[in-house]
A and B are shown apart, each in its own frame.
Chain A
Amino acid sequence: MYANKLYFEATALLYTLSVIMILIVIAGMFASVSLWTKGKKPSLYHAINLPAIIKAFICDVVLQLQILKISFIRWLMHLCIFIGFMGLLAETSVMAFMSHFLSPDNAIVKTFFDYESGGGARILDVWGEVFGLMLLFGLAIAIIRRYIIPAKQLETISKDTVSILFLTAIGLTGFFCEGIRLTYPEYASVASYSFAGNFLAGLLKAMGLELMNYKTWVWVHAAISILFIIYIPFSKAWHIFVSPLEIVIDASERA
C-alpha cells in the first residue's frame, strides 16, 4: 500500500547528490567566511549582551517587526517566504532523517509515514500544504512588487531574479508532485488533508493527466531544490544566514 509515497526513498543517487550538495554548500560557505576572516580589525567593541541578542532574535529575526514598521505588505511578503521556506525545509529534513536514519519499524517512522498507524502522516500533509502556500503567497507578492507593479526602491539584478525563480519552481513543483500523488486512488481517503494538492489533483484528472509518473516529478522537485541549496552561499539567499547574524551583533553592540 502507498507504493507511490516515494519522497525519501533511500537511493544511491539521492545520497550521492545530497553529499555533493552538502560539499558544495560547505565550500561556498567556506569561501565567504574565509573572505570575512581576511578582515583584521576587531568586530566587537563591547561585551556580548545576551538579553539584547535574544530580544533582537525574537523581534527582528523571527517576527521581523522592523519590516512591519516600514510596510505591512513587505512584512507579509518576507515573512511568508521566510516562514514558508523554513517550514518546508524543516519538514523535508525531519522526513529525510526519519526515513534514512531510523528503522522502518520504528514507532515514530510508522506514525509519520503510514496513514494507518497514527496521525503523523496527516500532520505532515497539512504542514506541507500550509508552508507551501505561504511560500507561494509570499513569492506572488514579491513577483508583483518586482516585475508587475514595481516598487520605487527596487532595483533588480540577475541574483534577485534567479532566487525568485528557484523558490517559485520549488513551490510549484512541490504542489505538482502532491497533486500527482493524490490522483492515485489509494490516497483518496486522506486527500482532503492536502487541500491544495487535492485541488490540483482534481485539475489534473479533469485534464486527463492522472496517474502521471510521480517518481519522475519528485526527482524534478528534488533536483531544483538541490540546485537552489547549492546556490544559496553564492547568491542573495545567503542573507538567510548572514542577516540574522548581523541583526543580533548590531543589537548587542548598541545595547
Chain B
Amino acid sequence: MENETKKAVKNTEAEGIKASASPAETPEAVVDKNSPAPKLKIERFSPRQLMELDACTRCGECSNWCPAYDQDQRESLTPRGRATLYKDIIDRQHGMFSADTFLGKLAGKKPVTIAEMDDFAKDLYACSTCMQCHYVCPVAIDTVELWERIRETIVDIGHGPLPDQKALTINTKNYDNPWAQPRSSRGRWAKMAKKKKRIKDVPKDISKKNAEVLYYVGCTASYDNNVEEVAINTTKIFEHADVDFGMLGSKEKCCGSVLLRVGDKVSFDRISTENIQQFNDLGIKTLVTSCAGCLKTIKEDYKKVAKMNFEVKHTLELIVDLIKAGTLKLKKPVNLKVTYHDPCHLGRHAGIFDAPRELLSLIPGIEFIEMERNRENSRCCGAGGGLKSGYPDMQNLISQKRVDDALETGATELVSACPFCYQGLQVGIQAMDAPIKMRDITELVCMALSDDDEEKKPAAEAASEAK
C-alpha cells in the first residue's frame, strides 16, 4: 500500500509540499522583511495557555503521530516545534527579557522580524487541528485550543491566514458560507431531492413552523453536489422515523468553524452570536447535524460564547436513540464489509466514539472491521483546520495514508460521519484509484431501511429514478 501512495504523489514529492501561498507573497506585503514584526496580542490567551508553552517537556511524542509532520519532516511543523518557536517569539516580544528591555538587550535578544513571523505563520497553518497531539501528550497540553489562539494572534497582525484560507473566510463573511454560494440556494438540494422523489417533502421551515428538532445541514452538505447525499439521506431517515424536524433553509448560516479554525475570532464571535440567538429563539429541544465540524463548533465552541437552550447531537446519535426507542427499524440486510473512520471533530474533539460503532452494529448484515488506528488514535484525513485549502498537496498525501489504513482491513466501504471527511478521503481514494467506496454512515442506514417506501412508489417513478 505504501508503494501505491508513493506512486500517486510523485508530483508533489518532486516539488515539495508547498502552502497555497505565503502571506508575505501578497501584494500588500511589500515591506522590509528584516524590520520588527508587530507585537502579538498576548491578552488573547488564558494564563493556562501561556503556561502550556512552558509545560512542553520536548519529549517529541507528538511528532510520532502528527499527520502533517508525517508528510513533511520539518521540526517547525511538529507541535513541539511550534510551541518552542512561539514561546521564543512571545518571550522576545513580551517577556522580562524582551528585545526592547534593558535586560533583553543585555541578554542579546533580538526583535522578532517580519520574515520570522511569516515563516512561523506558514508552518502554523500546516496543521489540521486533528487533536492527536493532545491525546498522546504526556502532559495533556490542550493543543488545539492553543494553536487556534496562536492563529488568532497571527491574524491580528495580518500574517494569517494563508491566501486560499482567507478566501474562505471572506466568502463566509459575505455569503454566510465558505463556498461563495448564494444564500437562496442553500436549500436547493431539498427541492431537487423532492422533485426526484428522493425525499417525501422539503423539510419544513422551522422559523415559520415549530418543530422539536432542528436539522442543521451545514455548508458542505448544502452546497456540494457530491456530498448532498448526506443531507438527503438524513432527511429520508427522519421522515421514515416520523421525527418532528425542520430546517432553516436560506436562513441557515455557516457555523463559523472555518473562521475559528484559521484564527478569525472576531468574525467567528459575530456569526456564532447571531446563530445562537437564532437557535435559541426557535424553541427547539435538539439541534442535530450530520457534520462533525459543525457539531464540534456548535456543541463545544459555542458554549464559550453564550448559553444555549437546547441540546446538540450528531445525527447518528439521534438515529441510535430512534432505533432503541423502536421508532426506526432497520430490517434490510446491508451485506457490506465496512470500516469506520472517526472524524477528528466527532471523536477526539467531541468524545463521540461509541455511537457510530453502535449504529453500525445495529445495521443488519454489516461486517465491521476496525482499522488499526481507531478511536482516540484515528489517523486524520487532513481536511480540517484549513489544511485542505492551505496545503492541498499535503492533505492529499495525508488522506492517502488513511485510505491505506482502510484498505489494509480488506473492507470494501470506507464509512465516516462527516461531509468534510467524506470530501477529504475521497481525494485520497481518487488519487490512488483505490478499490474502496467512500460512504457516509447515513447512507448505510438508508440502505437498511425497510422497502415500505420503495414499494409505495409508483412503478413509473421508480423507473425514472433508476434511469
Instruction: Show the binding face of A for B, using Cβ within 8 Å.
Output: 31-32, 34-45, 60, 64, 66-67, 70, 74, 151-155, 157, 159-160, 236, 238-239, 242-243, 245-247, 249-251, 253
Picked from B43, B57, B60, B304, the residue with its CB within 8 Å of the CB of A243 is B57
Tell me the complex Cα distance, A70–B64, Å.
11
Quick one: CB contact mask for B29-54 with A, threshold 8 Å, 1 for yes?
00000000000001111111111101
Q: Chain B's nearest CB lies how many Å from the CB of A25?
A: 14
- Which one of B133-141, B192-200, B276-284 is at the A interface? B133-141
The answer to whether A39 touches B47, judged by C-beta atoms less than 8 angstroms apart, is: yes
Contact A70:B54 (CB < 8 A) given known A39-B49, A43-B48: no
Number of residue pairs A-B, CB distance < 8 angstroms = 109
On chain A, the residues within 8 Å of B50 by CB distance are 35-36, 38-39
Q: B270 near A: Cβ within 8 Å?
A: no
Q: B59 near A: Cβ within 8 Å?
A: yes
Chain B interface size, as a band, is: 35 or more
Contact A236:B57 (CB < 8 A) given known A39-B45, A43-B48: yes
A-B contact pairs, 23 of them (CB 8 A): A35-B91, A35-B95, A36-B50, A36-B51, A37-B47, A38-B42, A38-B45, A38-B50, A39-B46, A66-B140, A153-B61, A155-B63, A155-B80, A157-B58, A160-B58, A236-B58, A239-B54, A239-B55, A243-B57, A243-B139, A245-B51, A247-B140, A249-B48
The answer to whether A153 touches B138, judged by C-beta atoms less than 8 angstroms apart, is: no
Instruction: Show the binding face of B for A, using Cβ within 8 Å.
Output: 42-52, 54-61, 63-64, 75, 78, 80-81, 84, 90-91, 94-97, 136, 138-142, 149, 303-304
Tell me the complex Cα distance, A89–B136, Å.
30
Tell me the complex Cα distance, A74–B138, Å.
11
The answer to whether B51 touches A155, judged by C-beta atoms less than 8 angstroms apart, is: no
Picked from B43, B47, B49, B64, the residue with its CB within 8 Å of the CB of A153 is B64
Q: Chain A's nearest CB lies how many Å from the CB of B93?
A: 10
Tell me the nearest residue of chain A to B300, going by C-beta. Answer: A45
Tell me the complex Cα distance, A36–B78, Å.
23
Picked from B54, B60, B84, the residue with its CB within 8 Å of the CB of A32 is B54
Given pairs A35-B96, A251-B140, A253-B142, 13 additional interface contacts (CB within 8 A): A34-B96, A35-B95, A43-B48, A45-B303, A67-B138, A70-B138, A74-B59, A151-B60, A153-B64, A243-B57, A245-B55, A246-B140, A247-B140
Q: Chain A's nearest CB lies how many Å from the CB of B113?
A: 20
On chain B, the residues within 8 Å of A31 by CB distance are 95-97
Contact A39:B90 (CB < 8 A) given known A245-B51, A246-B51: no
Picked from A41, A160, A242, A251, the residue with its CB within 8 Å of the CB of B51 is A242
The answer to whether B304 touches A45, judged by C-beta atoms less than 8 angstroms apart, is: yes
Interface of B: prevailing SS? helix
Tell me the complex Cα distance, A64–B64, Å.
19
On chain A, the residues within 8 Å of B64 by CB distance are 152-153
Contact A39:B139 (CB < 8 A) given known A74-B59, A155-B60, A239-B55: no
Tell me the complex Cα distance, A119–B224, Å.
79
Contact A41:B46 (CB < 8 A) given known A31-B95, A239-B57: yes
Contact A43:B56 (CB < 8 A) given known A31-B95, A246-B139, A247-B139: no
Q: Chain A's nearest CB lies how many Å from the CB of B260?
A: 14
The answer to whether A38 touches B43, judged by C-beta atoms less than 8 angstroms apart, is: yes
On chain B, the residues within 8 Å of A66 by CB distance are 138, 140
The answer to whether A155 touches B138, judged by C-beta atoms less than 8 angstroms apart, is: no
Tell me the complex Cα distance, A45–B139, Å.
19
Tell me the nearest residue of chain A to B60, going by C-beta. Answer: A153
Picked from B46, B52, B84, B94, the residue with its CB within 8 Å of the CB of A35 is B94
The answer to whether A39 touches B42, judged by C-beta atoms less than 8 angstroms apart, is: yes
The answer to whether A42 touches B61, judged by C-beta atoms less than 8 angstroms apart, is: no
The answer to whether A38 touches B94, judged by C-beta atoms less than 8 angstroms apart, is: yes
On chain B, the residues within 8 Å of A251 by CB distance are 140
Contact A64:B138 (CB < 8 A) given known A42-B46, A152-B64, A246-B52: yes
On chain A, the residues within 8 Å of B47 by CB distance are 36-37, 39, 43
The 6 closest A-B pairs by CB, nearest first: A153-B60, A43-B48, A39-B45, A31-B96, A250-B140, A246-B55
The answer to whether A39 touches B43, judged by C-beta atoms less than 8 angstroms apart, is: yes
Question: Interface centre among B46, B84, B95, by most A CB within 10 Å?
Answer: B46
On chain B, the residues within 8 Å of A157 by CB distance are 58, 84
Q: Chain A's nearest CB lies how many Å from the CB of B401?
A: 17
Tell me the nearest residue of chain A to B45, going by C-beta. Answer: A39
Contact A70:B84 (CB < 8 A) given known A32-B54, A43-B46: no
Q: Chain B's nearest CB lies how many Å from the CB of A76?
A: 14
Q: Chain A's nearest CB lies how many Å from the CB of B340?
A: 24
The answer to whether B81 touches A238, judged by C-beta atoms less than 8 angstroms apart, is: no
The answer to whether A155 touches B46, judged by C-beta atoms less than 8 angstroms apart, is: no
On chain B, the residues within 8 Å of A155 by CB distance are 58, 60, 63, 75, 78, 80-81
Tell me the complex Cα distance, A242–B57, Å.
10
On chain B, the residues within 8 Å of A60 by CB distance are 138, 140
On chain B, the residues within 8 Å of A34 by CB distance are 96
On chain B, the residues within 8 Å of A152 by CB distance are 64
Contact A153:B63 (CB < 8 A) given known A39-B42, A42-B46, A239-B57: yes
Tell me the complex Cα distance, A60–B90, Å.
29
Q: Chain B's nearest CB lies how many Å from the CB of A179?
A: 32
Contact A70:B90 (CB < 8 A) given known A155-B81, A238-B54: no
The answer to whether A70 touches B61, judged by C-beta atoms less than 8 angstroms apart, is: yes
Tell me the complex Cα distance, A254–B75, Å.
29
Tell me the complex Cα distance, A157–B75, Å.
11
Tell me the complex Cα distance, A40–B59, Å.
29
On chain A, the residues within 8 Å of B139 by CB distance are 239, 243, 246-247
On chain A, the residues within 8 Å of B56 by CB distance are 239
On chain B, the residues within 8 Å of A43 by CB distance are 46-49
Tell me the complex Cα distance, A182–B78, Å.
49
